[in-house]
Amino acid sequence: MGGGGGRGRGGSRTQRRHFRQNRENVWKRSKSDPSSENNNENNAENRGWEPFATQNLAFDEYYKEQGIVNPEEWDAFNEVLRRPLPAAFRINSSSQFCSDIRRQLENNFMISLQSEISEGGEPQPIRPLPWYPENLAWHSNFSRMQLRKNQTLERFHEFLKLENEIGNITRQEAVSMVPPLFLDVRPDHFVLDMCAAPGSKTFQLLEVIHRSMKPGSLPDGLVVANDLDVQRCNLLIHQTKRMCTANLIVTNHEAQHFPGCRAKSSASEIGAEMEPPISQLVFDRVLCDVPCSGDGTLRKAPDIWRKWHAGLGNGVHPLQIHIAMQGLSLLKVGGRMVYSTCSMNPVENEAVVAEILRRGGGSVELIDVSSELPQLVRRPGLKKWKIRDKGRWLASHKMVSKYRKSVIVPSMFPSGRSFTEQMDGNGSMEVEEKHENGGNGNVEDALQSTDDPATVPNEQEEEVSDFPLERCMRIVPHDQNGGAFFIAVFHKHSALPANQGKPNSLKEDLGSRNDEPQVELQNQGTEGTNGMVASLEDGTDETFLEAASEVELIKEELDGASLELDPSVTLEENVLEEAQEPVDEETDPKKAGGKRKKQCQGKWRGVDPVVFFKDEATINSIKTFYGIDESFPFNDHLVTRNTDANHVKRIYYISKSVKDVLELNFSVGQQLKITSIGLKMFERQTAREGNLAPCLFRISSEGLPLILPYITKQILCASLVDFKHLLEYKSIKFADFVDSEFGRKASGIMSGCCVIVLSKDGKATSGPIEVDKSTIAIGCWKGRSSLSVMITAIDCQELQERLLARMETEKEPSEKKDKASNVNRDEVQDVKDVEKNVDKDSITLASEG
């Protein structure tokens, strides 16, 4: 329960706004699209929707030449690549309703959709992915558009939207689920997700960290999720908030410059008691899902067809190497790193892997994982490939014009050898070859002229890599009716060589020249791509995002599923007291005069600080009011985002591992730029009645599962019928509960926040409340004369459906037959009794703020 998805995401209006601002519907053209207007003029049928053109001769020529599939497979590959991508989703394994949802899919939707949709000989409409453990990931034969438009699929679509919003499932492309599986994460691992937004893979990593945790306990590990763009960090926060975890830190850095946070102070300088528990921020596992051209996502982002050109991969190649090497430097010896892209281009894949091995020397090994996930259809990596530049095919670096050597770098080629021009004593030009071992040798071949734009190298000139690149994995669309992906798994045997060949700056790595336009490299694309980056192929500077992405899978539901809280709950501007872009108040006084004074997090201006909360009076009042057991670790586990303790709105809870990292960060001068940390545990009451309560802070829905086993006061156990009525009516007067004894107890507790637990046997109990993973509890507000729920309307709806599904599952067939009439009669009479006593028009939710 401590890390499971489900109860109370809260939800930031700012974060939701960033979802919508980043949204682009790629499945139909806008009315202003000229090509769409021309099509409509020439189309006698005048269709209201026209798909994107899925032809690109440069794409076909490039990948035929690279040989990513056998020639006899090309037609099948091409045909699948031009079909819409089937929708896929994953069940949150740490959710308390994981088994219920899997059972509902297996016993309900698989059967009903088979009878409603499928015809003879057609595959199953939905099925579990055979390679994903425990039937937790599912594949459908419907595209996202079909799910939205097909009336027959409406019930299934509503199910997906609801469970995704709650956090019980995550809608995610199937191939995007693969990289975290090869990380082999354990609950005690420190994990870094370098390019994390929008967060589907981060959520997946958190599931593993929290798996098998007992209620009220937290794992020893953590996940640090990083992204370059502050708006995408908000998307990441919105996504991972559904996990309800205290073991997550979200940071806002360039991945290639992610800080290592090495403590320099010694015990003799500051005293042993002042030293941080850890001396350096290093990780057991690193997920390096780098920015890429994203052409593996053509099935869900068809606008890529018209934008694709061969220079995309060339442009992002140096950044990918830089990020990967930084990831390896942050990896512990003995740790594992996964490098992945959603591109099919060998320049972004095998070429990067070869350069990593080249720079790492013997300290890094490319692991053979062909025996893992045996049912996953994958293909070996390529050993040879060519470079396409300015219309020319290049087989080695010696073929590169001297004017392009700063752009087409040696690491792009299979051998990695570079060639430089030198003048001999007679003024003649020679070509000097630099081998991998540092030796030089002269070759007689002169640099080829760029006059012939279609020069294709002879077969004998092609280079072949010496590294075991066949250990890489290529996933192609027509093998499993999915997207394309590339994955390589590294093991770090020893520290990296002192001279890795890593450039001093990204600009140096890109080989910038005054006569070349610069490429804007942005780590802000989509899940799996983190950005599509144009190159210098056509001499232009173009950066564009992959339009249909994992972000779409998350945000498309925002318009259809309500995120508004029940009226009994005040929704603050929950933007983590929002992390904002730095603003120089002295140079920009207009921006400085905003709604509130911008704070600083160390050197990070405009970012709210992270402060340990040590207000003993407030902490003791919370402990006393809720009767929190002393065994629950409070000291140094509470943080806020406000330096003024008197105006703290939210108190966050952090695990021991997060606390250790935070203390290290303080000791090194706050090198980490933290946008989100920990689990929202307590929220300040703001309404008039809330201010009159003995305790000024209520327990948040996100934090309730963690602290629930330790609460001894303000907690009651309700019967099934009263629990259901609370979810249905939102507020009930004490005298109107079916169980009068429960109503009497509810009226006797102190005003303010309280917790209502569903009884195991369906009847209210007076003894101690035992908590396990199946325990269902909600936060409520005890007012003067009534009890009101403090969870969102969508949470109420989902809980009611879960209860109904669980009741149907637990009933034996014989009991249904023998006792149906009596049970139905009793339940109907209970509802009628409540409806007589509860005047719906006069129900007012307790004003909690």
pLDDT, tens only, 565-582: 333 333 233 333 333 333
Of 25, 23, 24, 19, nearest to 231 by C-alpha is 19
Q: How far is CA 829 from CA 11, 627, 741, 822, in A?
A: 38, 37, 19, 11
Of 278 and 284, more confident? 284
Q: Which residues, 6 or more positions from 120, have their beta carbon under 8 angstroms from its beta carbon?
A: none
**φ and ψ of 752, to 5 deg:** 125, -160
Q: Classify strands 283-289 and 331-341 as parallel, antiparallel or unpaired.
A: parallel
Q: How far is CA 124 from CA 112, 213, 459, in A?
A: 11, 34, 46
What is the structure's pLDDT at 119?
59
Tokens read off for 198: 């929008």
Tokens read off for 28: 């139909």
Q: Is the dihedral of CA 583, 587, 588, 593 positive or negative?
A: positive
Report the distance separating Cα 112 and Cα 292, nearest Å. Answer: 40
Report the distance separating Cα 523 and Cα 503, nearest Å. Answer: 19
Q: Which residues, 6 or more positions from 285, have their beta carbon under 8 angstroms from its beta carbon?
A: 183, 184, 185, 189, 190, 191, 192, 331, 335, 336, 337, 338
Q: For residue 159, which amino acid is it?
A: F
Going by the annotation, the residues of the binding site are: 195-201, 227, 289
- Buried b vs exposed e over 185-223: b needs ≥16 C-beta within 10 Å? bebebbbbbbbbbbbbbbbbbbbbbbbebebbebbebbb
Confidence band, pLDDT 50/70/90 cuts, at residue 518? very low
Active site residue 342: yes
Question: How many other C-beta atoms are found inside a 10 Å radius of the C-beta of residue 13?
Answer: 15
Q: Is the dihedral of CA 52, 54, 57, 59 positive or negative?
A: positive
What is the average pLDDT score of the chain? 78
Q: Which helix (H) or strand (E) holds 164?
A: helix 154-166
Report the distance separating Cα 194 and Cα 604, nearest Å. Answer: 20
Of 836 and 668, more confident? 668
709 prior amide bond cis, ω within 30:
no
Q: Is the dihedral of CA 247, 248, 249, 253 positive or negative?
A: positive
Report the distance separating Cα 412 and Cα 405, nearest Å. Answer: 11
Bridge partners of 201, per DSSP, are: none
> Which spans in 584-730 are helix H?
589-592, 616-626, 656-667, 688-692, 704-707, 720-729
pLDDT in tens, 602-616: 889 888 999 999 999
pLDDT in tens, 30-42: 444 444 444 444 4
Q: For residue 760, which amino acid is it?
A: K
What is the structure's pLDDT at 116?
78
697 has pLDDT over 90: yes
Is residue 258 within 8 Å of residue 679, measured between CB atoms?
A: no
519 has pLDDT over 60: no
Report the distance separating Cα 828 and Cα 840, nearest Å. Answer: 18
Q: For residue 370, which amino acid is it?
A: S
701 has pLDDT over 60: yes
438 has pLDDT over 60: no
Is residue 744 within 8 Å of residue 787, measured between CB atoms?
A: no
What is the structure's pLDDT at 774?
85
Tokens read off for 788: 């009101």
CB half-sphere exposure, 587, CA atoms < 13 A: 3
**Residue range 334-344: mean pLDDT, rounded:** 97
**Residue range 639-662: mean pLDDT, rounded:** 93
pLDDT in tens, 146-188: 888 887 888 899 999 999 988 899 999 999 999 999 999 999 9
**φ and ψ of 733, to 5 deg:** -70, 150
pLDDT in tens, 525-549: 334 444 444 344 443 333 333 333 4
For helices 793-810 and 720-729, the axis angle rounded to 10 degrees is 150
Of 10, 92, 93, 94, nearest to 706 by C-alpha is 94
Q: For residue 308, which amino acid is it?
A: W
Report the distance separating Cα 311 and Cα 536, nearest Å. Answer: 6
**φ and ψ of 91, to 5 deg:** -80, 135
Going by the annotation, the residues of the binding site for S-adenosyl-L-methionine are: 195-201, 227, 289
What is the structure's pLDDT at 548?
34
843 has pLDDT over 90: no
- What SS3 state is found at 456? coil
Question: How many other C-beta atoms are found inside a 10 Å radius of the C-beta of residue 468?
Answer: 16
SS3 sequence of 401-453: CCCCCCCCCHHHCCCCCEEEEEECCCCCEEEEEECCCCCEEEECCCCCCCCCC
- What SS3 state is found at 777? strand
What is the structure's pLDDT at 574?
37
Confidence band, pLDDT 50/70/90 cuts, at residue 690? low
495 has pLDDT over 80: yes
Q: Which residue has the tokens 């606008």?
A: 303
Q: Name the CA radius of gyration of the chain, rounded.
A: 29
Of 456 and 680, more confident? 680
Q: How far is CA 108 from CA 105, 114, 169, 604, 809, in A?
A: 5, 10, 17, 52, 11
Q: For residue 697, which amino acid is it?
A: F
> Which spans in 211-300 are helix H?
230-240, 267-270
Q: Which residues, 6 or more positions from 817, have their beta carbon under 8 angstroms from its beta carbon?
A: none
Confidence band, pLDDT 50/70/90 cuts, at residue 490? very high
Is residue 587 within 8 Å of residue 614, measured between CB atoms?
A: no
pLDDT in tens, 459-475: 447 899 999 999 999 99
**Residue range 240-266: mean pLDDT, rounded:** 90
Report the distance separating Cα 686 and Cα 568, nearest Å. Answer: 12
Look at 76-80, 124-128, 440-444, 658-662 and tell me which has the smallest mean pLDDT.
440-444
Report the distance separating Cα 336 and Cα 366, nearest Å. Answer: 10
Q: Which residues, 6 or more positions from 43, have their beta carbon under 8 angstroms from its beta carbon?
A: 50
Q: Which residue has the tokens 């509890």?
A: 777
Q: Which of the residues 233, 244, 292, 342 is marked catalytic?
A: 342
**Residue range 693-710: mean pLDDT, rounded:** 92
Of 451 and 291, more confident? 291
523 has pLDDT over 50: no
Of 474, 367, 347, nearest to 416 by C-alpha is 347
